[in-house]
Structures are given as structure tokens and as C-alpha cells.
Structure 1
Amino acid sequence: MDSLPDALFRAAPEIRYVALYRHGELQLAQRPALRDASATESDRYEELLVNPALLVLTRQRGSIDCGGLEYVLVRYGRFFQLVHPVDGGHVSVAIEPDADLPALVDTVRDAARAYGLLPAAT
């Protein structure tokens, strides 16, 4: 079986970058020959510090009276960043700005389920 990043890159050309952070281990993968890529060190700190904090804050807010949290979508200047909580951490996917976001979110969630990172859809 391919890795999650390989499966996502194959499934959607609009996916620029994939990170999986679980149980203290970080995996980063970037689409080859990507234009306008962020610095690798910047991506690393985003996955280790920013995205975990973002999920804590939004999960707590969602638990108050919003019905929980499914995922967070951030719009940066050159791309969208999908941050999805998974057991033991998160998966983070950078997406081209002209992508069909609802379809891409479904693609990422389906792949995460296939790799055992999310429970089966109900």
C-alpha cells in the first residue's frame, strides 16, 4: 500500500503538500516540482506548533455549543490549508486556491479512513 501522501498526490493534482503528525512523529511530503512552496523548516514548525494549537482552540470552541469540530480550513495567500484531527494527532494538506474544496475535503477524509486514521463513515 502506498503512503498517505502518495495516495493523495495521485488522487488530486491540486494537493501541494501533505503532513501527518501522530504520537509525536511527523511525516512531511511535498509534490515534486512545486512552485511557490513554503520553506521546509517553516512547514515543520507549522505542523509541530501552529496546527496542534489551532486544533486545541477550535476543538474547545466547537465543544461548547457548536456540535464539535470536524476540520479547520485556513486560507493563506497562495493556498488553502486543511487541518483534520486524527487519532493521536492531525493530517494537514495544502491545496491549490482554485480547487473544488468540498470535493478535496472528501478526498482527504476518504484517504484518511482508508489508512485507518478516521473511523468509518456512518
Structure 2
Amino acid sequence: MQTLKYVYSALLGKIEHLRDNTLTAELEKIKKNHPSLDYFITKEIITHNLYGVDIMAEATEIAKLRLFLALVACAEKVEELEPLPNIDFNIMAGNSLIGLMEVQDTDYNGRHGQ
């Protein structure tokens, strides 16, 4: 997450120097709608870039909690807090090594072939 924060911050900083009207307008809209740019960046990374699977349900809950704590730590004032994102589909309990045990061609074509 820390590496992605550097990338996002660098991109947003670059937008200010490009003098592109479309990108500048989008950045201004982000700044207007979000009191904290750091909070916005962290929330975007958590909701759109971080995914994980663990076989232990407890581990996934701890990971979600740590992400939420990292997000809240970005806010310097209470006014900067926004609703926490739903990351139940980003961090899930399961076994990623097993995969599909058996796939029938007729089942696959029937659901996705149309």
C-alpha cells in the first residue's frame, strides 16, 4: 500500500504541472469533494488495488481491520473522515490453491456462452 501511495501522490503532483485542463478539473473536483487528499488516495488504493485471500477467516478480518486503521490514521481531523469502504470482496477467506475441482463444458457454455 505504501508503494502505491507514492505512485498516486506522484501522479496527482504531476497533474498540477501538466496544465491539462481535463486532468486539472478532475483533480480540483477530487480536492473539493474530499477534505483530505491523503485519505482519498488511501481509500482509492484499498478499494481498487488491494486484494487478498487467506484460508483463515480470522486473518482476513485482521487484514481488513488493519486497512481500516491505516485509512483512519490518514485523517488529521474528524471532519476529514469519510464512510469506510466495503472491502468484503477485496479480502476474502478461502483456499486460492484449490480452484475449481471440476468444470463441465456444458455448464460453462450454458452460463457464459450466450
TM-score (norm 1): 0.28
Structure with a larger share of its residues in strand: 1
TM-score (norm 2): 0.29
Structure with a larger share of its residues in helix: 2
Which structure has the greater CA radius of gyration?
2
